[in-house]
Amino acid sequence: MLAIIKTGGKQYLVKEGDKIKVEKLEGEVDDKIILTDVLMVDEKMGSPLVEGAKVEVKILKQGKRKKIRVVKYKPKTRYKKETGHKQLFTEIEIEKISA
């Protein structure tokens, strides 16, 4: 069973047993969360969401990605500024998809 879910402003094509990294979700490791923003289940499309559809996920890991470097630069003015940050993520496992 396939589904397209929306979380963190992004869309993911998932099936049961998949492990994916998404934007940070609230919860601790081994917590179970129900995602209700389901755009498609098998052949059934929503407009925009499929009513009554939900995806049960389990949190495997909370962490930070590699550091991203951001550079501001203006030529001929001796201006250069470097900043960066580490984006937070949550690794989840898809346990059950129901329509």
**Closest C-alpha to 32, from 54, 14, 5, 59:** 59
Q: What is the pLDDT of residue 99?
A: 82
pTM: 0.82
CA dist., res. 77 & res. 87, Å (int): 31
No. of helices (H) and no. of strands (E), the chain: 0, 8
Q: What is the pLDDT along the chain (99 residues), one digit of tens a residue?
A: 899 999 999 999 999 999 999 999 999 999 999 999 999 999 889 889 999 999 999 999 999 999 999 999 999 999 999 999 999 999 999 999 998
Q: What is the pLDDT of residue 72?
A: 97
The two structure tokens encoding residue 6? 């929306």
CA dist., res. 50 & res. 54, Å (int): 9
φ and ψ at 27, to 5 degrees?
140, 165
Are the CB atoms for 11 and 45 separated by under 8 Å? Answer: no
Are the CB atoms for 85 and 98 separated by under 8 Å? Answer: no
